[in-house]
Homo-oligomer: A and B are copies of this chain.
């Protein structure tokens, strides 16, 4: 029993953080926001060079074969730097689905190879999301038709753009027709694939929300330490301290929930959906509180476009309702807590 990360995992996270700190500064985000596509091919190229697109791809397809637990560190970094890219959708969520496809799907290994080398962008249209993130700039879309999974080239769909308050989000209403040519899974197989995609998608935004929360906390701490009022740094006022201490506490206690959920998904545990929903709620609450207290600590500055806080805050609000809103996740947790008395209580945290 060891519920911690090993040194390699921590070093990997550190390396990703250093890379993104250099390559994805807020000024770069602002530049990307101004572009039509809202994506930086240059950033994506650098990410691929670092091998980050290959994380989940199996080793025999040119990847690193890392699991959901490693991704729970990676997504926090993507959130912390508010990466304006659907990297996790392609390299984690879609990669997971495609890896699980039978070998008989001829293009499976080609797709995995292209995910690994960073030459493909895949959008995932799970029914829990009314719109598809990054449908417009994608090369391939994984779309659902009842239980079926369809892998549809971009050229076969129409995308109607739906702008979000988070300019890093590029949402599309996708119009398409299912056909046997695009179908890659059906029936029980398709259903299982979509179920697995859901958990990964939720884990992915949960991790990003936690990273966003940490970033908003760090920005607020910096601001509070520097900004003076009534002759003192505002960070020396108890109200400011207590606001930020509450955010820090919320973040600290959301982290292990995220890691436990990632482990449950990686190992196919029965209660994975409940753990994942718990993680989404905990990380979403942390991000929401970080935004609330962050803007309060920043005062009027926090309400401006100019100060970086807004980029992280708006992204947190947007992601909080993606991959299932709170009602969706609360009802999954309630179904478990109010339905299965045997599984509650001490001693069940790691044993089913």
Contacts and interface: CB of A to CB of B under 8 A. Distances in A.
A292 interface: no
A11 interface: no
Contacts of A238: 237-239
Interface of A is mostly: helix
A242 interface: yes
Contacts of A242: 239
Copies of chain A in the complex: 2
Interface string A228-259: 00000000011100100000000000000000
A32 B237 CA distance: 45
Interface in A195-252: 237-239, 242
Nearest to A240: B238
A242 B240 CA distance: 12
Interface in A234-290: 237-239, 242
A242 B238 CA distance: 10
Nearest to A238: B238
A237 B236 CA distance: 12
Interface string A6-48: 0000000000000000000000000000000000000000000
A239 B238 CA distance: 6
Contacts of A239: 238-239, 242
A225 to B, nearest CB: 17
A242 B239 CA distance: 8
Interface of A: 237-239, 242
**Top-5 shortest CB links A-B:** A238-B238, A238-B239, A237-B238, A239-B242, A239-B239
